[in-house]
Structure 1
Amino acid sequence: MAATNGAKKFLQHILAVAIEGGGFDKTLSKLRIVSGGKGRCIAEMRIEKEHTNRIGVLHGGFTAMLVDAVSTMALRTTEKAVPGISVDISVTYLGVDVSADGFMKDEVNHRIEEGKKIFKSSQDWRRNNDKCRNP
């Protein structure tokens, strides 16, 4: 997927198929693809009540689902263009504040290391109004 616009449309199609397929993927209906290609998928999403736990914080299970779904979409834009199966997901939470404007997933999978059978990816998340990012 060389062209960013073509990659974005491709990622939007993958997302639509996942959502229409039903199951837990329906919870991705608020996810919006911003751009992607060459192993990247940049997406954003307003976090709403349906995505939080009983104390109003982004649910950890939903967090893992977002990591899994968006990393799979990013993998589809690599040369091999294959979907992946997550074998290990590790999340470090830096805070629990969910502001009124929700969260944005930004620069998702901007670092992908490609092996013969395993892809290693990392994601950075930030709130819409945050100026700084984690290295």
Structure 2
Amino acid sequence: MTSPSELEHVRAVWQKMQGNSPIYDFLLSNIDIISATKGSVTARLPLEKNHVNSRGTIHGAVSAAIVDWSGGLAIATHGLEKSGASVDIHVTYIGTAQLGDTIEIEALANKVGRSMAFTTIRISKLVDGKPGPMVATASHTKYIQQAKS
């Protein structure tokens, strides 16, 4: 179940990022954050021409950018305004999606500490409005600065 406050917070963090990241502006202008709870964000992205390679399928670099973006927002669900700098991104490309498909991104913040955060991301192709074949899975580690409690 989506908490309105966490969803509002994540959308506000995303709104602050827009206009400050040309790559996110180029790739994610039409992304829809559909839910957020503490430690979890789900979003959907219809694939357009700027998302695909010469074969008309999602480009690996787009998947990696989605992992970076969504992992950061999953970390933001812990009340953070900024989600730090990437230390490691590992993407496993399992399947593909094509121009015109919509993908669903599920990002989980597995651990958010004072200086490091660890996330996992699943990207799947939507089929009849529900997550279908897996496109990619990923792990994403970020260095964060969080106030000491």
| Normalised TM-score (structure 1) | 0.82
For residue 43 of structure 2, what is the aligned residue in structure 1? 43
Structure 1 residues 119 and 100, CA, compared in 2 at 3 Å: closer, same or farther?
Answer: same
Spell out, residue by residue over 1:60-103, the C-alpha distance to the aligned partner (whole angstroms, 9 max, x if none): 11111111111111111115665121111111111134264331
For residue 119 of structure 1, what is the aligned residue in structure 2? 117
For residue 142 of structure 2, what is the aligned residue in structure 1? none
RMSD, aligned α-carbons: 2.5
Structure 1 residues 21 and 79, CA, compared in 2 at 3 Å: closer, same or farther?
Answer: closer
3-state SS of 1:83 partner: coil
Assess if the C-alpha contact under 8 Å between 2:40 and 2:77 holds in 1. yes
- Runs ≥4 residues deviating over 6 A: 132-135
CA shift for structure 1 position 17:
2.0
CA shift for structure 1 position 122:
0.5
Assess if the C-alpha contact under 8 Å between 1:48 and 1:102 holds in 2. no
CA shift for structure 1 position 22:
4.6
| Normalised TM-score (structure 2) | 0.75
Assess if the C-alpha contact under 8 Å between 2:42 and 2:104 holds in 1. no
Quote the sequence identity (%): 24
Spell out, residue by residue over 1:97-119, the C-alpha distance to the aligned partner (whole angstroms, 9 max, x if none): 426433121x321x512344221
For residue 32 of structure 2, what is the aligned residue in structure 1? 32
For residue 104 of structure 1, what is the aligned residue in structure 2? 104
Q: Distance in 2 between matches of 1:94 and 1:121?
A: 18
Q: Distance in 2 between matches of 1:48 and 1:8?
A: 25
Structure 2: gaps (5+ residues): 138-149
Structure with more of its chain in strand, by fraction: 2
Spell out, residue by residue over 1:4-45, the C-alpha distance to the aligned partner (whole angstroms, 9 max, x if none): 111111111222222222511202111111111312111111
Structure 1: gaps (5+ residues): none
Structure 1 residues 131 and 60, CA, compared in 2 at 3 Å: closer, same or farther?
Answer: closer
* AA aligned opposite 2:68: D
Q: Distance in 2 between matches of 1:73 and 1:20?
A: 16
Assess if the C-alpha contact under 8 Å between 1:31 and 1:44 holds in 2. yes
3-state SS of 1:11 partner: helix
